[in-house]
Structure 1
Amino acid sequence: MPRRLTLPRTYWADRAILAVLIAGSAWLSLTLARGPGELAAIWVGNGILTGWLLSRRTSSWPGYVITAVLAEMPARILAGDEPAYAAAIAACNVVEVLGVAGVVRRAVPDIRNPRDWMQLGGIATTATLLACAAAGLLAATVAHALHEQSFLPALTRWYTAHVVGMVVVATMTVVALRERLGLFIATGRGWSLAMTLTLLAAVTTAVFTTSQAVLFLAYPPLLLVAVRHNFVGVGLGVIVLALVAAIATTLGYGPFADSGAGPDMRIAQIQLFIAGACVMTIPVCLAIAERDRLSASLRESERHYRMLADHSHDMIARINADEERTYVSPSATDMLGWSSAELLGKRWDILHPDDRKHQRQAMQEVLATGQPRTDVYRLRHKDGHYVWIEAVSRCIPADDGSDRNDVMFAARNIDERVAAEQALEESRRELERQSRVDALTRVANRRQLDERFDLALRRMQRHPASLALLCLDIDRFKAINDGHGHAAGDAVLQAFAARLLACVRDTDLVARLGGDEFVILLEDVEASGAEALARKVVATMAKPFDVGAGVLEVTTSIGIACTTRQVDAAALMAQADAALYAAKHAGRNRYHIATP
C-alpha cells in the first residue's frame, strides 16, 4: 500500500500554498476573460478560499482571508485591472466567501461526517445562491461605475461564474484537503481516476474541435467520472471540462466560437454548459454518498449485531412463523452441545415434552401481541440430559420482507439457578416441616396439633361428624429419668411415640405436647372407636421397652374426650386432660372416658 503523503500544515506554508492557488487561478481566469475590467467566465478563487476556510478553525479565518486578498490583487493588476477596481472586486469576493463559509460552518460544524452530507448539500447550495447574488450586486455596481459595463449583463456574468466556481471548486477543495495527495495515489483510485479524466478530456477536446452541436457528448464521460469517483471525480471533471471549453473557445474553436455570438454570449454559453454539468453530476454524487452512508451504516449495524450474537454468552435464535430456526448463534454449542447448523430448520424437537404445548402458545402470543415475554423451560442437550433455560422472546420483522413477523429468542442457561431455587424450596419445606414436628420423637408438635384441631372443627361446621381426643402420658416417667438417666428417658419417649404411630390410622394425628405428654386426634370416630384405640395402646405399651441401658416396663394412662357437635378446642382438651387424671387416680395403666 503506497505511503500517504501529507501537505505541510505550518502557518506560513499553509498560507503560501493558498496564495499561489488564488493568484494562479485569478490570473488564468482573467487572462481567459481577455480584457481589463472583464468578469471571468468561471471564477475559481472563491471556491478555493471557501473550501480552505471550511477545512480550518474559524479563529484562523482572518489570516487566510487577508492572504487571499493580497494574492488576488497582484494577479488582477497583472491582468490589466487598475488597483482601485482590483481592490473593490476583491472586497466583493470576500463578502461572497464569508457569506457561504459562515453559513455552512454555523449550520454544519463538521462537514467531514457523511451523515450530514445531504443536509450540507442543501445548505451550501442555498448559501451559494444568496451570497453570490449579494456579491454580484456589489460587483456589477463596481463594474458599471468604473468601467461603464452594463449592470444586468455584468451581474448575470458574475453570478453564473461565481455560482459554478463555488459549487465545483469549493467541493473539490474540501475533498482535496481531506484526501491530500492520497486523492491521486490512493490504492485503487490512481489509474482509474487518471483514465476516466483522460477519457473526459479526449471527448471534450473532440467536441470542441468540431463545429457540430454535439456538446451533450461530453456529459456521459463526466457522469462516468462522477459515478466512479464521487465528489473527487466531479470536481476534477468539471475543471477539465471548463478548461477545455474556455481554452478552445478563446482560441476560436468549438461550437461557441463558431456560433457567431459576441464575447459576452460566448461566456454565457460556456457558463451554461458548465452549469449543466454541475446540475447533472452533483445530485448524483450526493445520492451516491447517501447510499454509501446508508450501506456503511447497515454493514456496521450488521457487524455489531453479528459480533454481539456470535460472542454473547447467551444463545440467540431466530424462528420464523413456520416455527423453523433460521439463525442460531455459536454459543448454542457451549450451552447445548449442538452446532448452529444442527439446530437450523428445527424448533420443537429439543424442547422437553412437558414444555412444548406451553411454548407453542407462548410463541403464538408473542406473534399475536408483538409484546416480549420471558419463559423458563427445558432444552435437550446433545448428550441427552435437559438444560433449564430462561428465554426472552420478542417480535422482529421477517427477513423476506413479508408482512409476517419472526421471533427472536435470547436464552441463557439457568441450571445453577434452578438447582439453587429447588434446594432453597426443599430447605424451606424442611424448615416448615421441622417447625411442625417434635425434634425428639418425630411426631407432630403443638403447632401442628393446633392447625389440625382448627381444621377439624371447621369441617364439623360444614359437615357434622364426631371428633375424639386422647390425652396420654407415661406412668411414673420421672422415676425412669431419675433411675436410668435422661438418655434412657429420651429413648423411652422415642419408642413410646413409635408405638403410638403404629397403633393409629394414617389420617389420625399423634402429637407431643412436651415432656411425656402426648395427644391423639381422631376424626370421624365414635366414642367406641376411641375406646378401642385406647385399649390397643394400653396393650401395646405393656410389652417391655428395650432402651439399650436395659429392659424397662412402661405403662400409660389415657384420657378420652369425644364430641359430635361444635366445641371449643380448649374445652375438649380440658375434658380429655381431666379424664387422664381420673385414669391415674384409678390406678394407672388404663383409660378413662370423660362424661360429655
Structure 2
Amino acid sequence: MLARRAPYQLWLLLAAFALYGGLSFYALALARANQSPVALWLANGALIGWLVQKPLVRTWPLLITAFLGSLVARSCLGDPLLPALLIGPCNALETVIVSEAIRRRFPQLSSRTRFMNLARVGVVSAFIGSTLCALSMMSILHLWSHPDVLVSLNTLFRAHFVGMVIAGSTSLVMVTPSLRRIEPGRTWILVRDLLLMTAITVGVFGESRVPMAFLIYPPLLLLVFRHRFLGMVIGMAILALVISLATTLNIGPFNLWPGVTPAFRVVMAQVFIGVSCFVALPIALALSDQDRLRNRIHESELRYRMLADHSGDLVMRIRANGDRMYVSPSVKELLGWEVEDFQRPRPDLIHPDDRERITAEVMKLRALGGTTTVTYRLQHKDGHYLWIEAFARLVPSPENAGSMDIIYTGRNVTERVRIEQALVESQAQLRTITDNMPAVIARIDLSWHYTYVNRFVEQVSGRTPAQIIGKSVCQVHGNAVYDRLKHYLERAFAGESLLFEYEAMHCDKLSHFQAHYVPDRDAEGKVRGVYELTTEITHIKNVERELLRLAHQDSLTGLANRRYFNERITGILQQARQRDVPVLLALVDIDNFKTINDTYGHATGDIVLAEVGCCLQRLVREGEVVARIGGDEFVVLSDNIGNSKQAMAFTQSLWERLHMTVDAGGAQVSVKMSVGAVLCKDEITGDPVMKMADEALYMAKDAGRDTYRFVVHGMEGGHDNNSQERKIRRA
C-alpha cells in the first residue's frame, strides 16, 4: 500500500540513500577490518547515472540524500561527526564535476552516442574530480603531516578514480536502455558468462600460493566481446568486489610478497583493478562504436531498400557491361515491365531520337565520373513513350574492386514535359503577338534597365531589341526624354499605374507617344519592375489637329467659324476685364447678298464670300479674331483698341476697305457692306455685346445700307443709345 501511495521521487531518494550509504559502509567497513586505506570508493560513481539525466538544480535532493546516507554509514562505524560532515561535500564535488561534464557534452544518451567521446569526457572529468576530492580529504583528515603523505594521496586518488570509472560506467549502462538491452535468447548466455567470470575470479583471488591473477582476463574479455559494454561493466564490478573483499580478508596473490603491509596490498589491488578496467574499457568502447556504426549502416540500408522498393521512382544499379544488379519493383508500375524483364540492357526501349544522346551521356559519365541528369523518352510495355528524368551517379562497385557502377534514379515527368512544351508554345505565341503588336512592349527592372523589348521597337526607333536590352532608360532615350519620363517611372515603381503622353524627336521630326506604365509585382505584392506599353500617336495628334481645325474653321472662306468665335469671345472679354481695357466687336453684313445669288448664281455668291473672307484676313491685326458666323455675316473682335476714337477710326477703315468689285465670269459684281460696331468695357459674356453690335448693324441697314454705325457702351464719354454716326458714300 505504501508503494502505491509514495511518489516516484520519494522512492528514488530512498534508493539513493540506501545505495550510497550501503556502498560507503561496504568500503569503509572493509578498510576498518583490514586496518588499511579504502581500496575502492564506488559510492560517488553510483550516482552518475541519475545525475546526468537532469540539470543540477533539479537533482540536488539526490546529493543531499546521498550525503545523509554516507553520514549514517560513517556514524555506524564510529567516525567522528565533524570529519564526516566535511568529507560529504568533497564527495559531492567529485560527483558533480563528472555528472555535469557528461550531461553538458551529451544531453541525451542513446545508441547513437559516440562512446569513445563519452569515455574521453568521463575519464578526464573523473581525473579532475578525483584529484580535487583527494586533495580536499587530505586536508580534512590531516594527512599532510603523515610520513607517507604521497602514498596516502596516491591511494585516495586511485580509490576514487578507479571507483568512479567502474561505478560511473555501470550506472550509465543502467540508465541507457540501448546499452543494457540484451538480445532475445542471450540472457542465459550472459548469466553463464558472468558465473564463469565470478568463479574464475573467486578461484584466482582465493589462492594465495600461486600467482594466477592473469587468468581473469580471458573471461573478462569474453564478456566484453560477447556482451560489449554491459558485459564489461558487470564483469568489472564483480572483479572489483571480489578483489576488494579478498584484499580485506588478507588472501589472494597479493600476499605472495613476504612482509607486505595492508596498505601495499590495497595499492596493488587498486593498480590491478585499474589496469583491468583500462584494458577492458577501450575494447568495449571500440566494439560498441563498431556495433553502433554497423547498426546505422544496416538501418541505412534497410531504409534505402524500403524507399527504393516502395518509391514511385525507378532505381537501378548498373554495371559497366550494362547488367542491372538491382531494379526496383516500381518498374512494373512505371513502365509495365517485370523486374526480370528489365535485368538485361534494353537500349531498344529508348526513343530512336534520344539513343545517340543517351549513349553520349553514359560515356561521358563513365569517363569523367560525378553525376549527370538527363531527360529522355522510354517506351512503356504498352508501346507508348514516357518522358523520364534520370539522375545517374558513378560509384565504386561493392563486388568488384576497381570497377565502377552507375546508380540510376528515374521518374516519370511526362506531364511536366507536356506542360513545359505547352508553356514554350504559349511563350512563342505570346512573343509572336507582342512582336507584331503596333506598340512597343518592354519591361524595366528595379535598376531602371530594360530586360525585355518586343521587335516592334525596330519600326519606332530603328534599333533591335538586342541593342536595347541591358541598357538603362537614360541610355535608350537620352537625357531630354529621360527627364520627362523620370517622374512617371518613379511613381510606377512606387506602385501606381500611369497613362500619359510625351513628345520626342525621331528621325529629325517631332513625334508624339502615349505610354502606359504598369507595376510588375511578385507573389507577395512587392514591385519588382515596370511593364511599359508605348504607342506612337503622331498621326492621331495630326488628325486631332485637323479635326480641331475643321471644327473651328469655315471651309469656304478659311476664316474661323461661329463655334470657334463663341469659344473665344468669353475668354477675350474676361482677359480684357482683368487688364481693364475695352473690347471692339464689329458685325459685317454683305448688302443684297440674296440678289447676288439670284442674279449671278450661288457659285458667284461663294466667290464673293471667299473674297470678303480674304479681305478680312488681310485687314485684321495679330490677336484679333475674324470669323464667318452666318451665311453672309462676318464678325471682327479686337481687344487692342484703347479708346472710342481709335475704335471709330478702325470701324470706318474696315467699312471702307471692304468695298470691292468681284469678277463673276465676265460680269463685274459690285460688293457693298453694312457694318455695326460696339466698343464696350467690363462685359463678361458675349451675348449682350453681340446684341449691341447687332442693333448697330440694324441701324446701318435702316439707314439705307452701305454704311456703318458705331456704339460706345460702359465707357466714360459714351452712353447707351447715343452714338457717333457717319455715312460716307463712294463717289
TM-score normalized with structure 1 length: 0.66
Determine which of 179, 183, 193 is the counterpart of 1:196.
193
Q: Which amino acid aligns with 2:314?
A: M
SS in 1 for 2:37: coil
Deviations 1:464-522 (A, max 9, x none): xxxxxxxxxxxxxxxxxxxxxxxxxxxxxxxxxxxxxxxxxxxxxxxxxxxxxxxxxxx
Distance 1:219 1:54 in 2: 31
Where in structure 2 are the equivalents of 1:342-381 lying within 5 Å? Answer: 342-381=341-380
Q: Deviations over 1:201-257 (max 9, x none)?
A: 111111123221111100110111122222222221111112222222322322113
1:285 corresponds to 2:284: yes
| Aligned residue number for residue 212 of structure 1 | 210
Picking from 215, 224, 227, the partner of 1:226 is 224
Does the aligned pair in 2 maintain the 1:144–1:151 contact within 8 Å? no
- Deviations along 1:277-301, one digit per CA (max 9) or x if unpaired, are 1111111111112112211221222
SS at match of 2:325: strand
Q: Kindly, what percent of the aligned residue pairs are identical?
A: 36
Higher mean alpha-carbon deviation, 227-236 vs 276-285, is at 227-236
The structure number with the bigger radius of gyration is 2
Q: Residue type matched to 1:198 in 2?
A: L
Note closer, same or farther for the CA distance 1:327–1:185 as it changes in structure 2 (3 Å cut): closer
Larger relative contact order, structure 1 or 2 (CA cutoff 8 Å, min sep 6): 1
Do 1:26 and 1:43's aligned partners in 2 also have CA atoms closer than 8 Å?
yes
Partner of 2:662: none
Matching of residue 90 in structure 1 with residue 101 in structure 2: no
Q: Residue type matched to 2:380 in 1?
A: H
Whole-Å separation in 1 of the counterparts to 2:353 and 2:405: 24
Structure 1 residue 309 displacement after superposition: 1.6
Aligned residue identity for 1:389: I
How far apart, in 2, do the equivalents of 1:14 and 1:142 lie? 30
1:325-372 per-position Cα deviation (integer Å, ceiling 9, x unaligned): 222111111122222232124252433344333211101212333343
Conserved 8 A contact 1:363-1:407: no
| 1:168-567 alignment, distance < 5 Å | 168-179=166-177, 187-210=184-207, 211-260=209-258, 261-400=260-399, 402-416=401-415
Distance 1:415 1:55, change over 3 A: closer
- Opposite residue 368 of structure 2, the aligned amino acid is T
Say if 1:74 and 1:432 are closer, same or farther in 2 by CA, change over 3 A.
closer
Judging by fraction of residues, say which structure has more helix. 1
SS in 2 for 1:114: coil
- Secondary structure of the residue aligned to 2:317 is strand
Structure 2 residue matching 1:111: 3-state secondary structure: coil
* C-alpha displacement of 1:428: 9.7
Kindly provide the CA deviation profile for residues 66-93 of structure 1, in whole angstroms up to 9, marking residues without a partner as x: 1111100121222232222222322221
Q: Does structure 2 conserve the Cα–Cα contact (< 8 Å) formed by 1:104 and 1:124?
A: yes
Q: Partner residue of 1:108? A: 106
CA change 1:274–1:395 in 2 (3 A) is same
When residues 105 and 431 of structure 1 are mapped into structure 2, their CA distance, relative to the original with a 3 A threshold, is closer
Rounded to whole Å, the distance in 1 between the matches of 2:34 and 2:142 is 13
Instruction: Write 1 or 2 for the structure with the bigger share of strand.
Output: 2
Inter-partner Cα distance in structure 2 for 1:64 and 1:432: 79
- d(CA) in 2 for partners of 1:183, 1:127: 23
Distance in 2 separating the partners of 1:416 and 1:111: 48
Higher mean C-alpha displacement, 58-67 vs 244-253: 244-253
Is the 8 Å Cα contact of residues 143 and 154 (structure 1) preserved in structure 2? no
3-state SS of 2:347 partner:
coil
* SS of corresponding position for 1:346: coil
Q: Name the counterpart of 2:632.
A: none
State the shift of 1:51 in Å. 2.5
What amino acid is aligned across from residue 197 of structure 2 in structure 1?
Answer: L
How many corresponding residue pairs?
428
Secondary structure, counterpart of 1:115 in structure 2: coil
Match of 1:319, as an amino acid? Answer: I
Q: Structure 2, unaligned stretches of length 5 or more?
A: 435-731
CA shift in 2, pair 1:360/1:34, >3 Å: same
CA RMSD of the aligned region, Å? 3.2
2:111 touches 2:292 (CA, 8 Å); kept in 1? no
- What letter is aligned with 1:302? E
Contact 2:143 2:149 (8 Å CA) reproduced: no
Change in CA separation of 1:14 and 1:427 when aligned onto 2, cut-off 3 Å: closer
Cα deviations by residue, 1:140-165 (Å, 9 ceiling, x for unpaired): 23333499573211111111111111
Cα pair 2:34 2:262 within 8 Å, conserved: no
Check conservation: 2:254, 2:268, Cα contact below 8 A: yes
Taking a change above 3 Å as real, the CA distance of residues 149 and 370 of structure 1, as seen in their structure-2 partners, is same
- Comparing 383-392 and 134-143, the one that deviates more: 383-392
Matched to 1:98, the amino acid is V
Q: 1:380 to 1:203 in 2, by over 3 A?
A: same
Which residue identity lines up with residue 220 of structure 1 in the other structure?
P
Alignment TM-score, normalising by the size of structure 2 = 0.54
Q: 2:143·2:152 contact (CA, 8 Å) conserved in 1?
A: no
The whole-number CA distance in structure 1 between the counterparts of 2:352 and 2:144 is 97
Aligned partner of 1:65 in structure 2 is 63
Q: Distance in 1 between matches of 2:432 and 2:133?
A: 96
Distance 1:70 1:94 in 2: 11
C-alpha displacement of 1:387: 3.4
CA contact (8 A) 2:87 2:137 kept: yes
CA distance in 2 between partners of 1:320 and 1:83 (Å)? 79
Separation in 1, partners of 2:236, 2:330: 54
Residue 402 of structure 1, CA deviation: 3.4
Contact 1:29 1:42 in 2 (8 A): yes
CA–CA distance in structure 1, aligned partners of residues 391 and 213 of structure 2: 64
Q: CA deviation at 1:134?
A: 1.5
CA distance in 2 between partners of 1:305 and 1:244 (Å): 49
Deviation per CA, 1:518-554, whole angstroms, max 9, x where unpaired? xxxxxxxxxxxxxxxxxxxxxxxxxxxxxxxxxxxxx
Q: Distance in 2 between matches of 1:431 and 1:321?
A: 47
